[in-house]
């Protein structure tokens, strides 16, 4: 029975992945099977999203009921969640489609997110100072390159000459590093997928 619990999911994963690959690289053999499987994944993800929503609601409701020290944050989360859900439902019923939800996203969520991300500038400055204290050649070059790129983006007369240098940094060294990271990530994803398909990583089934 234990072997069935392990091998049956592996067979399902292998056959599903094989069908998607055949549908992607060929024509006429298993047309649209990948699209059908993608729809199934969307349906499953929707049910999982509802399950996660119920779980979060239960956890934070328990915090409020038990008088947790951070119960105000839990209350704010639950209230905002209910408001957004009701706004979406009421907007759909009233014929505004997603207009109400988009208004909340544009005028409430987006300014809050922008404010939060603007605080990262201070964290980056602090990290740069800590990096400079290390005293190595690599850290010094990192801080110098970051300063050149940042000052090159400032529309101020004394720093106008750094714009071309900043653009060169972004077009060649930075872009090369980003491409290397993306290639490494793609190779890692391929290796991980092969391990799952071949059943090497099956601890999640035990």
**Tens place of pLDDT per residue across the chain (206 aa):** 667 777 787 788 888 888 888 888 887 777 788 888 889 989 999 999 999 999 999 999 999 999 999 899 999 999 999 999 898 888 888 877 778 888 888 999 999 989 988 888 788 778 877 877 777 888 788 778 878 887 777 766 566 677 788 888 888 888 999 999 999 999 999 998 888 777 777 665 65
SS3 36: helix
Domain residue spans in the chain?
Answer: 121-197
CA angle 96, 98, 103 (to 5 degrees): 95
Cα–Cα nearest to 197, from 48, 1, 21, 43: 21
Query: Among all chains, which residue has been given the structure tokens 């706004």?
Result: 87
23/35 Cα distance (integer angstroms): 9
pTM of the full predicted structure? Answer: 0.61
């Amino acid at each position: 029975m234990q072997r069935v619990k392990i091998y049956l999911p592996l067979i399902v994963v292998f056959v599903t992945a094989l069908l998607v690959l055949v549908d992607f690289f060929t024509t006429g053999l298993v047309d649209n099977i990948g699209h059908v499987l993608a729809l199934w994944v969307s349906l499953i993800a929707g049910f999982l999203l509802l399950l996660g929503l119920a779980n979060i609601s239960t956890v934070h409701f328990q915090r409020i009921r038990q008088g947790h020290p951070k119960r105000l944050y839990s209350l704010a989360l639950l209230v905002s969640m209910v408001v957004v859900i009701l706004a979406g439902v009421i907007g759909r019923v009233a014929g505004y489609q997603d207009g109400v939800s988009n208004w909340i996203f544009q005028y409430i969520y987006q300014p809050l997110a922008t404010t939060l991300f603007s605080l990262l500038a201070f964290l980056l400055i602090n990290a740069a100072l800590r990096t400079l204290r290390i005293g190595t050649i690599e850290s010094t070059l990192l801080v110098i390159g970051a300063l050149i790129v940042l000052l090159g983006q400032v529309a101020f007369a004394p720093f106008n000459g750094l714009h071309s240098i900043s653009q060169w940094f972004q077009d060649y060294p930075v872009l090369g590093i980003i491409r290397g990271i993306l290639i490494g990530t793609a190779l890692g994803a391929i290796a991980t997928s092969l391990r799952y398909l071949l059943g090497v990583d099956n601890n999640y089934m035990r």
